[in-house]
Amino acid sequence: MLAVGASTTASAATLVANVDISSQTMTVTHRGKVKYRWKVSTARSGKVTPAGSWSAKWLSKNHRSSRYNNAPMPYAIFYNGHYAVHGTDQVGRLGRPASSGCVRLHPENARVLFELTRREGLKNTRIVVRR
């Protein structure tokens, strides 16, 4: 029964950010149409980016990490505890594993996704992470 509810929630989402860990990419689908494909960085060796599907939980435009020396996490979309999709100042590392577990994006792409999430609403935004 839980799987049915989860798929109903996923199919009801108007904004879906699909993260592919193996290719270090994100594909953003808005209202059923692919809108963007971006490079990301997920967890480096020894760290974990959990796989699964979550609705967005909360937004923080100018977030700073409480775990990693106040590191900037602009346009953060939190989806699973302390895991978030957010911008990074380490854009040269995008396209390969580099994070402590979050999904990093170019800050401009993070801004676009953040604004789409704000417009569509948290409950209508899904973050899907696959290996």
Per-residue pLDDT of 66-106, as tens digits, reads 888 889 999 999 999 999 999 999 999 999 999 999 999 99
Q: Please check whether residue 122 is in contact with residue 14, taking contact to mean a CB–CB distance below 8 angstroms.
A: no
Element housing 24 (H / E): none
Instruction: Give me the mean pLDDT over the 54-66 stretch.
Output: 96
The token pair at 36 is 């963007």
Show which residues are catalytic: 86, 102
Q: Residue 41 carries which DSSP code?
A: B
What is the pLDDT at residue 68?
85
Predicted confidence at residue 25, as pLDDT, reads 98
Mean pLDDT of 100-122: 98
Question: Residue 28's domain spans which residues?
Answer: 2-130
DSSP 8: H
CATH code of the domain containing 121: 2.40.440.10
Residue 11's pLDDT is 59
Percent of the chain with pLDDT over 90: 87
The reported pTM is 0.91
* Cα–Cα distance, 4 to 9 (Å, whole number): 9
Q: How many domains does the chain have?
A: 1
Closest CA to 55 of 31, 86, 78: 78
The token pair at 48 is: 């974990």
